[in-house]
Structure 1
Amino acid sequence: MENNVKKIHDFDQSIWLDYIDRKIMNTGELQKLIDEDGIRGLTSNPAIFEKAISSGSDYDENIKTLAQEDKSNEAIFYGLAVADIQQAADLFKPVYDEEVKGSDGYVSLEVSPHLALNADGTIKQARELWKAVDRDNVMIKIPGTAQCLPAIKQSISDGININVTLLFGLERYEAVVDAYMSGLEVRVEKGQSVDQIASVASFFLSRIDVLVDPILNEKGLDDLKGDIAIALARKAYEIYKREFSSDRFRKLEAKGAKPQRLLWASTSSKDPSFSDVKYVEALIGPKTVNTIPMETLEAFRDHGKAAARLEDDLDKATQALERVEQASIRLKDISQQLEDEGIEKFNKPYDKLLDAINTQKEKSLASA
């Protein structure tokens, strides 16, 4: 019987895994996901690393070694993370090297969430991490905050693959597309190549509905419950198709540039009344990526139904967003609130992670 997850690939969407730890790489489990489920990339974030490092002893020896080199807690974390990302990137290298080179096989590593509002710090760390990982098939994650738009442009013009994260609104998404194209244009002006650069724009979904659904309830718009994130994603895809078929992009494409694909993130259902594969099923469509956590992957493998649905009901999506705005629910304000909360959601596990490393470090130094 054909694997349900692998079937998604028939519709020209790539499934990436939103998870990393040493165990899945060392036991061959990740390789099995690549072979059997057709997983074509991997994303990580501070919360995922915090879970991996705090929940077992896989990292203890490395922390001990790095602690003896008198490194800061953050330097120790990135030492561990870079090693993991390199190992994952090597596992995905055959996917990256397939006939359409560089369309998939990417592994993402995030800059410190404390830099989410600091363009200069982000540019500096993106360059350091890119150099440290030293793999063609890595992407550095930069949040799509207004403050980091210049960092996205600069990093692309530096020739760094970028995964733009924490996108919740259509206006910001358009600004991110502009930053990507501007970065490519800078390279073209300098006579540098653009054919090896890849980028994705990560649109976060289920968190939108978690915030909007109770407001819809209050306003008597219960029939739109669970629809707004998907409606926004469908409108984002319209923007993607428009921008990447524009004259502006055609000039870059003539030099070998690739479109910045939309990536659906936060696609596990947070509301127990929804299907656990709701966001995965609704947003299958060509030239897109969906990054999904392990439990959503397993759920889709068990009972997901693959079909191209991303461009279904576009009129309905437009009407839903219009009704929301008419009810004085300002989606722009909601996307800003979600961005602020998203930064906080990554800062907390990151700080917890550094505390866990500090505890390990003190323990190993005391026993040295």
Structure 2
Amino acid sequence: MSKLQDLSAAGTAVWLDFVDRKFLASGGLKKLADEDGLTGVTSNPTIFEKAMGHGDAYDESLARFDRDNPDKPTIDRYEAQAVEDIRAAADILRPVYDRLDARDGYVSLEVRPTIADDTDATIAEAQKLWRAVDKPNLMIKIPGTDAGAPAISATIAAGINVNVTLLFSLAAYQKVAQAYATGLEERVRQGQPIDKIASVASFFVSRIDGKIDKKIDALGTDEAKALRGAVAIANAKAAYAWFQEFSASERWQALVAKGARPQRLLWASTGVKDKAYAKTLYVDSLIGPDTVNTMPPETMDAFRDTGTVAPTLTQDVDGAHHVLAQAERLGLDLGEVTDTLVEEGVMSFAKSFEDLLGAIAKKQPAHAE
């Protein structure tokens, strides 16, 4: 088996944080599923901006859409391309979904980041995208903002799988985990089945160290430097410890009795930002049951070559809490960092989305001869 297959066997599912039409058409995704045990794909506005906004891979499809749908707005042209890619990826992973009885094999498509603070608009768009893709192994990505939490509950209650994105803090994660439970409870109240509903909570990692390490470097003390590259992993371990506690709670066990499946923690932003760190740092350190690691291609390649598989998520949890306590004592203010990262994440995705629409607009009409 490859090391990525070993990672899956240890309980951490392997997902790819990348989608591109040429990659799908050339068999790249199928190869990863067949040879490395890959079981999922995530996308976001930045990924689509790089895929659609540059080169000519989408020109033919855009031209066809333009001919069939003259004078449609740019947002519709984008959604048609995104839906086509996500449907193709979902079809490639459908055998995985069927083999695992809906426990995995998912492809994620995000609602527009420009509506992250609008609950009703998020619910409506989640339903629209769900109908457009029309694949059972789709997950709709919804940001874990204050407005996102009730949207998550409503979307789950409607029978739609959800990938909660842009989670950085334990408090935000706890809120969306409870929102998932609320959605399942509402579905049970309506007499609807919950045994095939799936969700992941995307907990971002490397971006935290990117911010915290700068504060550590500014302090410059040996005590502070000892925390370099450790705070994000400690934060993730604290989230996983809470996941285990919540999984054992009376509330969750009542849902398990009805067929509920866990909302797995998904480690996102796992490519290292600091070249001083091992390329596999945020994979090696976060391995445990009922988790997912979504990796950019370069991180996946690095883990295949040099990764280490061990049950690291449950190792030295007391040490993780000590790291977080030290960070607080030194005034690194993890809470402020995570709040800032949520705001920056929404803004960054919104900018990528606007850039994407701008690039597509320049292609109109695309080869509309």
| The two structures share one fold, judged by TM-score above 0.5 | yes
Q: Which amino acid aligns with 1:48?
A: I
Counterpart residue type for residue 3 of structure 1: S
Q: How far apart, in 2, do the equivalents of 1:88 and 1:10 lie? A: 23
In the TM superposition, 1:234-313 aligns within 5 A as 234-313=237-316
What is the identity percentage for the equivalent residue pairs of Structure 1 and Structure 2? 46
**For the residues of structure 2 that align with 1:266 and 1:250, how far apart are their CA atoms?**
31
Higher alpha-carbon deviation: 299-308 or 280-289: 299-308
Unaligned runs of 5+ in 2: none
Find the residue that maps to 1:201 and give its secondary structure.
strand
* Cα drift, residue 67 of structure 1: 2.7
**Could you tell me how far 1:363 is from its partner in structure 2?**
5.0
What do residues 122-152 of structure 1 show as CA deviations (whole Å, max 9, x unaligned)? 0010000001111110000000001211111
2:237–2:320 contact (8 Å) kept in structure 1: yes
2:344 aligned with 1:341: yes
**Alignment partners' CA distance in 1, 2:366 and 2:106:** 35
Task: Tell me the equivalent position of 1:57.
Answer: 56
Alpha-carbon distance in 2 for matches of 1:281, 1:348: 32
State whether residues 270 and 295 of structure 2, in contact with CA within 8 Å, keep that contact through their aligned partners in structure 1: yes
Q: Which moved more, 1:173-182 or 1:321-330?
A: 321-330
Could you tell me which amino acid in structure 1 is paired with residue 353 of structure 2?
Y
Q: Does 1:22 align with 2:15?
A: no
Residue segments in structure 1 that go unaligned for 5+ positions in a row: none
Q: Aligned partner of 2:13: which letter?
A: S
Equivalents in 2 of 1:54, 1:363: separation in Å?
13
Deviation readout 1:79-119 (Å, 9 max, x if unpaired):
11111101100100111111x41111000000001011111
Q: What's the counterpart of residue 72 of structure 2? A: 71
Matches within 5 A, 1:78-89: 78-89=79-90
Partner of 2:215: 215
For 2:138 and 2:111, how far apart are their aligned partners in 1?
13
Counterpart in the other structure of 1:136: 136
CA distance in 1 between partners of 2:206 and 2:6 (Å): 23
**CA shift at 1:329, angstroms?**
2.7
Other-structure match for 2:123: 123
Partner of 2:96: 95
- Provide the TM-score with structure 2 as the length reference: 0.96
Provide the rounded CA distance (Å) in 2 between the counterparts of 1:259 and 1:278: 25
- Residue 153 (structure 2) pairs with residue 150 (structure 1): no
Counterpart in 2 of 1:12? 11
Q: CA deviation at 1:4?
A: 1.5
Q: State whether residues 262 and 290 of structure 2, in contact with CA within 8 Å, keep that contact through their aligned partners in structure 1.
A: no
How far apart, in 1, do the equivalents of 2:165 and 2:87 lie? 21
Task: Find the aligned partners of 1:154 and 1:275 in 2 and give their Cα distance.
Answer: 40
Partner secondary structure for residue 292 of structure 2: strand
Residue deviations 1:30-58 (CA, integer Å, cap 9, x gap): 11111111111100011111111123212
CA drift of 1:362 comes to 4.0
Shift of 1:11: 0.4
Shift of 1:217: 2.5
Runs ≥4 residues deviating over 3 A: 362-365
Q: What residue number does 2:203 align with? A: 203
- TM-score (structure 1 length as normaliser): 0.97
Separation in 2 of the partners of 1:22 and 1:292? 18
Measured after TM superposition, the shift of residue 214 of structure 1 is 1.3
Aligned mates of 1:53, 1:91 — CA distance in 2: 20
What's the CA shift for 1:25? 1.3
- Cα distance in 1 between the residues matched to 2:332 and 2:29: 42
> Could you say which residue in structure 2 is the equivalent of 1:165?
165
1:218 is displaced (CA, Å) by 2.7
8 Å Cα contact 2:284-2:307 kept in structure 1:
yes
Q: Is the 8 A contact 2:66 2:366 kept in 1?
A: no
Counterpart of 1:190? 190
